[in-house]
A and B are shown apart, each in its own frame.
Chain A
Amino acid sequence: MSSSQGPTHHVAGLNPRLFRKRDFWAGVLMIAFGLLMSLKGPTYNVGTLMHMGPGFLPTALGVILIGIGIAIAMQAVTVPDGEDEDILPAEPQWFAWACILLSPIAFIVFGSLGGLAPATFMCVFVAALGDKDATWLGSFLLSALITFFGVMLFHFVLQIPMPVLKFMGWSLL
């Protein structure tokens, strides 16, 4: 912040490019977590230093985290323009990310409705579709294979209490 010669530097604090900086957002996120803790913490009864209540540590940690967050965000100000702006990777993989995140959801939904086998199949299938070289057939075969071994290992060997296949409350296997 000390130098004010460059045309882009004299409003360093308000520099619109600041909003592209990775460290800026990292700091903001930490400040947000810190605020959450230090604002919610006192509602749990802070107590005194001798008799600490359940709210003491969260509040204290929250304040510390806000401080660290500010320090991290400050680093973004000192970094020259053009550097450290790669929050998203060079080739964002929105579809693959969605597939990976949908995979546990598929596990929950099909596991609750249909049991272990459908849950496994859908979980692997959805995740596999995310790869850029994925084919329907390839994903299908992989899911079928994993379902077979998964059921063998987790149902028969490790005996996880989850029906392999159930339908409308009827356990079929």
Chain B
Amino acid sequence: MIYTALTDLWMGFGVALEPQNLMWCFIGVLIGNMVGVLPGMGPLATISILLPLTFGIKPVGAILMLAGVMYGAQYGGAICSILLNLPCHPPHAVTCLDGYPMTKQGRGGVALGVTVFASFVGASWGITEMIFLSPILVRVALQFGPAEICSLMLLGLLAGSTLARGSPLKGVAMTVLGLMIGIIGSDIETGAERFTFGLTELDDGVALVALALGLFGIAEFMNSVNQQADINTQYTNVKLRDMRPTKEDIRRSIGPMLRGTIVGSLCALIPGTGPTIASFVAYATEKKLSKTPEKFGTGMIEGVVCPETSTHSSVQGDFIPTMSLGIPGDAVMALLLGALMIQGIVPGPQLISQHPDIFWGLVASFWVGNILLVLLNVPLIGIWVKLLTIPYKFLYPSAMFFVCIGVYADNNDMFHVAEVLAIGMMGYVLLRLGFHPAPILLGFVLGPRFEENFRRAMLISRGDILVFVERPISAVFIALCTILIVGQLYFRLFSKKKPEDAVEQPLAAE
């Protein structure tokens, strides 16, 4: 078992180190890092904007590049949060708490230095987990029938929407809306056109790129235009030699790094609890364990290291259900899975055996990419820091162009540009009404497969809906769903706030 995993991994390194794939990985990390540093560009916006660039590349190269974009953007976001106190991505909200005070004390460089190392440690552990857990999970999942797949998807959808930020009820509403958007277009089985309103362009359904760019591009720009706080760049003059931590810093970082790794990987195993919750839990744990908890928030290096490690460890862990079961835990994973589907690859348990080059290549490229990230960030920090000073008034018009050309290039069709406009407008309305649009993407990506399996399960069971609770594995998933819903109701009725809100409250991240 372990032996096969290691030989497969060896093969994966062969794929990832092919000159062409290595180049795509490098380009992905570089561009992802560059765009992610820009204030106001989170990983979701970055991946959506860069997604169209990968259409011309072969599937392996494309997914390697997108994965590179993802962790590049993530690390770029950390730079932005530590130096400017601007978290563009929810998990980084916690990093700001101690990262920015460190910057104010002139130790921003050190914070960045340990963050590079912390994210590498966290990611490495997550990758190791992926190598050994995914094949086991696949072996179990290959036994699943339509009923099991269906209830597992239900669990994934519920967990992804209720455990994320904001009101769980609104999260579920967004998931249902996403499922509805996934229905638009012609039905797979009967070919009936649904909700196309006579527009033949909608026969193939709403384009993933248009949906992602509308929700995380246009809606986000409308939300932040002219609302940007003045960027304070007085502390951003970080040079390479400022990044070197002292012996004391290293000594203090080792414990939090290990604890962050454990917290992150545990959070990754619970479906739906992504990097955001992992980072909050990690910070809270670290504060509780510290001998000087009152000093947190004043620039403690532990408060930077622990959440960053756990974020990266949990993001890597999130790849396990995404790649081995085809069920993404959050919007970032849904976007990557959607990109694979655009390339014509069917996600699910059969992915690893049918496309071993993609899976093991991806695993190996995580390591390659993370090493590239370290190598890139140390010498290029000066350039990244310069990028922080680009004002938003130049940023969003340029990004608008990338949005338009990106959706156009998807199908060389102006209709998609109109589509992204409509989705963006709707996305902004939803934002203003207090919805978080991320679960829409989750529902959209899973929707068609959910419907297909639901129909199949019903056909096999001759229309008996009880099949979902009669088959043991499916019953376990349904039970977990019930626990999730009851738990949410319990928290709602008997305590005023969700547990992570207690940590989140003083942050006021958004």
Contacts and interface: CB of A to CB of B under 8 A. Distances in A.
Interface of A: 22-23, 25-26, 29-30, 33, 37, 40, 44-45, 48-58, 61-62, 64-65, 68-69, 71-72, 75, 87-89, 91, 93, 96-97, 100-101, 103-105, 107-108, 111-112, 119-120, 123-125, 127-128, 130-134, 138-139, 142-143, 146, 150, 154, 158, 160-162
A37 B195 CA distance: 8
A88 B195 CA distance: 30
Interface of B: 53, 56, 167, 169-170, 172-173, 176-177, 179-180, 183, 187, 189-190, 192, 194-195, 218, 221-222, 225-227, 392-394, 396-398, 400-401, 403-405, 408-409, 412, 414, 417-418, 420-421, 424-425, 428-430, 432-435, 451, 454-455, 458-459, 462-463, 465
A151 to B, nearest CB: 10
Contact of B401 (A54, A87, A123, A133): A123
Contacts of B403: 104
Contacts of B421: 101, 104-105
12 contacts: A22-B434, A29-B433, A52-B458, A57-B454, A61-B176, A71-B169, A101-B222, A103-B397, A123-B400, A146-B397, A154-B409, A160-B405
A159 B454 CA distance: 42
B417 A68 contact: no
B226 A131 contact: yes
Given A93-B225, A142-B394, A104 B169 contact: no
The 7 closest A-B pairs by CB, nearest first: A50-B463, A131-B393, A127-B397, A128-B397, A49-B463, A54-B187, A26-B433
Contacts of A64: 176
Contacts of A71: 169
A124 B405 CA distance: 11
Contact of B225 (A131, A139, A143, A150): A131
B180 A150 contact: no
A23 B433 CA distance: 7
B458 to A, nearest CB: 6
A132 B180 CA distance: 37
Contacts of A30: 173, 177
A54 B190 contact: yes
Given A29-B429, A97-B222, A134-B393, A158 B53 contact: yes
Contacts of B396: 100, 127, 131
A49 B463 CA distance: 5
Contacts of B404: 103-104, 107, 119, 123
